[in-house]
Amino acid sequence: MEDKYALISTLVGAIVLAFVFGFIAQRLRLSPIVGYLLAGVAVGPYSPGFIADVELALQLSEIGVILLMFGVGLKISVDDIWSVRWIAVPGSIFHTLLSGGLGCLVGLVLGLPFLESAILGASVSVASTIVFLRALEDRKLMKTEAGRIGVSWLLIEDLLIVLSIVVLPALVWSLSAEDANISPWRIAGALGVTFAKIVGFIALIMVVGARVFPWLIIQIAHTKSRELLSLGTLALALGVAWAAYYWFDASFALGAFLGGLALNGSKFSHKVAEDSLPLRDTFAVLFFVAVGMLFDPGVLLRQPLMVATIVSVVIFGKAGLAYLLMRAMKQPPHASVVLALGLAQIGEFSFVLAALGLQLNVMSMETHNLILAAAMISIALNPFLLRLAPEPPLVRAPPKPAPGESVA
């Protein structure tokens, strides 16, 4: 009976507990993501009581990643990135590299192998777009200079992590040779083949897809059927993701992202993003619940110093690097503090990278638990950290001249 209804049991347990824990987290002024992760812990194999099907939850979470990446592609604003390009582009690239290097160094000091340390570094280098955007909206900072820089910064960061997700399998394959002679040419060759496939896929989507996908959505929209538009959007996201995986050896995430990017700026892109939001939110919640199911809370007791070290890198290391980079680019203190505190957390793509490390057998479950612990702690603390940011300075209007006084 349990096997027959494993999918229904998993969905019911995940969604109901995600709602309960998410509501409690929201009432405690925490990010709901913390509640979703705790819901996963509650139905996971490391907690007593009902245990959901982890394999089914992970497959459902893949759909969450696909729709999450599709949404990122839909919302990227090239104009916004271009307007702050001299700040967001170099700042994001340097911050990601420096944060990743710091995390990798910590991993090596903790005794992890180099590749595992590199994945740890990449995982702690990327902040949660969802957490930061919600924080900006709560403080009404989306339309400010700090908000524009922050959004563009995170979008570029997401692009870098997508690239890491694409490159990592090829890199692991090239390093997993049975012989001890691992040539740099072999690594370069493996990466070259992967990049050639990816470039071919990107060219196909951006040249053909950018013309076909908007036309297809317009034809569906003309039917005036909301159900067909939602179904067509889902079919497009899942179909492109599957094509990227099956024919081009790319990740589902990259395919979905490019599918969303091909639709970006089209006549109905905002309508597509709006209609697909409930479905994307639901599967994104399932993604966080599935991640929580993999988390072993016992790591907090087994490795308290390692957890504290990684959390310190995420909160103090990343925030400090972001603040210094912003000030080096002559940005005002307020914008620098807001961005620094907003980046002092890790989230959804950290989970994707850590899960990929597990799938490729280059990351231990203990390191995976350390990353999840750091993510949960940093996400929980982030709203409180952002309250420390000063209010944006008011722009005062020039005083009005007194009656009879001439204006210079």
The distance in angstroms from the start CA to the end CA of the chain is 86
Structure tokens of 383? 């709203």
Higher per-residue confidence, 1 vs 128: 128
Instruction: Give the type of residue at 44.
Output: G
Q: What is the pTM of this model?
A: 0.76
The pLDDT tens digits for 14-70 are: 899 999 999 999 898 888 888 998 999 998 888 887 777 878 887 887 788 788 778
Task: Compute CA distances 319 → 41, 58, 338, whole Å.
Answer: 28, 32, 10
Residue among 179, 175, 194 nearest 118 (CA): 175
Q: pLDDT band for position 176 (50/70/90)? A: low
Q: pLDDT band for position 386 (50/70/90)? A: confident
* 105 domain residue, yes or no: yes
* 317 domain residue, yes or no: yes
- Structural domain tally of the chain? 1
> Per residue in 370-379, is it b (16+ CB within 10 Å) or e — as a string?
bbbbbbbbbb
Of the candidate ranges 148-152, 165-169, 285-289, 324-328, the one whose mean pLDDT is the lowest: 165-169
* 201 domain residue, yes or no: no
* 243 domain residue, yes or no: no
pLDDT at 364 over 70: yes
pLDDT of residue 347: 75
Structure tokens of 35? 């509640």
pLDDT at 396 over 50: no
What percent of the chain has a predicted confidence (pLDDT) above 70? Answer: 89
pLDDT of residue 1: 44
Q: Provide φ and ψ at 52, rounded to 5°.
A: -75, 165
pLDDT of residue 258: 83
Write out the residue range of the structural domain in which residue 67 sits.
Answer: 6-166+283-386
Q: pLDDT band for position 398 (50/70/90)? A: very low
* 346 domain residue, yes or no: yes
Residue among 278, 260, 61 nearest 159 (CA): 260
Q: DSSP class of residue 53?
A: -
The pLDDT tens digits for 291-348 are: 888 888 999 999 999 999 999 999 999 999 999 999 999 998 888 999 999 999 987 7
pLDDT at 122 over 60: yes
Q: Provide φ and ψ at 315, rounded to 5°.
A: -85, -55
Q: Find the CATH number of the domain harbouring 360.
A: 1.20.1530.20
Alpha-carbon span 153 to 133, nearest angstrom: 12
Higher per-residue confidence, 100 vs 128: 100
pLDDT at 363 over 60: yes
Mean pLDDT of 125-135: 80
* 100 domain residue, yes or no: yes
Compute the mean pLDDT over every residue in the chain, rounded to the nearest whole number: 83
* 278 domain residue, yes or no: no
